[in-house]
């Protein structure tokens, strides 16, 4: 079954364990500046929101790449960057409307979320289930369930 990363910002505390897990998995060091997932603090609103690549089916980054360095992993559905083909032109970073593929000045290549090949480290590390890795066809299930639960007035009266 193909799975997606599901973000529930209401559960996020801004701890950045996900950013450390991502960088540790990909680069062997705890380094949020190299994380493919970023947590945004909306200070005035009192909200924390993790955000990363949503693995578009028709990916702008893939279409834009002049060297075909971005390929689809058929098992996970993830769009992966092939470092040996990437020339660091950064056209994909301009093409992606969501800003979730970025240049890494240390390597000269671009980096993006690749779902860790099917076992995303961020979801494992998240202490509050703000990030989960669930059935790609059912990411709305929890919300549907919440609203379904409100429908029987007699039961909640």
Partner 1 sequence: MAWTKKFLRVNLTDGTVASEDLNMDWADQYIGQRGLATRYLVDEIDPKCDPLGPDNKLIMTTGPLTGTMASTGGRYSVVTKSPLTGCVACSNSGGFIGAEMKMAGWDMIIFEGKSPNPVYLHIENDNAQLLSAEQLWGKSAWDTDKIIHATHNDPQTRIACVGRSAEQGCMYAAVINDLHRAAGRSGVGTVMASKNLKAVAIRGTKGVAGIKDPARFMTAVNEAKQVLADNEVTGVGLPTFGTQVLMNVINEVGAMPTRNMREVQFEGAHKISAEAMAEPREADGKPNLTTNAGCFGCTIACGRISTIAPGHFSIENKPQYMANSGGLEYEAAWALGSDTGVDDLDALTYANFVCNEDGMDPISFGATVAAAMEMFEAGVIDTSNTDGLEFKFGSAEALCKAAEMVATGDGFGKDLGLGSKRLCEKYGRPELSMTVKGQEFPAYDPRGIQGMGLTYATSNRGACHLRSYTVASEILGVPVKTDPLSTEGKADLVKAFQDATAAVDSTGLCVFTTFAWTLENFAPQLDAACDGEWTPEKLAEAGERIWNMERDFNNRAGMTAADDTLPERFFKEEANSGPAQGKTSGLKEMLPEYYQVRGWNADGSPTDETRSRLSLP
Interface residues toward partner 1, by CB under 8 A: 13-17, 20-21, 23-24, 27-34, 43-48, 106, 125, 127-128
Residue with tokens 């970023």: 38
What does DSSP assign to residue 14? -
Rounded CA gap, 24 and 35, in Å?
9
Of 10, 118, 98, whose CA–CA distance to 54 is shortest? 98
Give me the least distance between CB of 44 and partner 1, in Å please: 4
Q: Residue 9 or residue 77: which is nearer to partner 1 going by CB?
A: 9
Beta pairing, strands 102-104 & 79-81 = unpaired
Q: Which residue lies nearer to partner 1 by CB, 34 or 79?
A: 34
**Least Å from the CB of residue 32 to partner 1:** 7
Asked whether the beta carbons of 148 and 128 are under 8 A apart, the reply is no
Is the CB of 14 or the CB of 99 nearer to partner 1? 14
Sign, CA dihedral 11-40-115-95, equals positive
Q: Considering the complex, what minimum distance in angstroms separates the CB of residue 112 from partner 1?
A: 18
**Closest to partner 1 by CB, 67 or 129:** 129
CB of 90 to partner 1, least distance (A): 18
Contact indicator for 92, 53 with CB cutoff of 8 Å: no
């Amino acid at each position: 079954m193909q799975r997606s990363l599901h973000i529930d910002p209401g559960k996020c505390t801004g701890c950045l364990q996900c950013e450390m897990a991502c960088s540790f998995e990909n680069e062997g060091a705890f380094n949020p500046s190299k994380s493919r997932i970023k947590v945004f603090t909306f200070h005035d609103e009192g909200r924390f929101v993790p955000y990363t690549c949503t693995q578009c089916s028709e990916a702008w980054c893939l279409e834009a790449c002049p060297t075909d360095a971005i390929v689809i992993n058929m098992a996970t559905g993830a769009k992966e960057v092939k470092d040996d083909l990437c020339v660091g032109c950064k056209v994909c970073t301009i093409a992606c409307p969501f800003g979730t593929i970025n240049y890494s000045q240390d390597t000269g290549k671009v980096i993006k979320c690749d779902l860790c090949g099917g076992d995303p480290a961020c979801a494992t590390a998240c202490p509050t289930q703000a990030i989960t890795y669930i059935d790609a066809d059912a990411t709305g299930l929890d919300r549907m369930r919440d609203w379904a639960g409100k429908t029987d007035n007699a039961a909640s009266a």
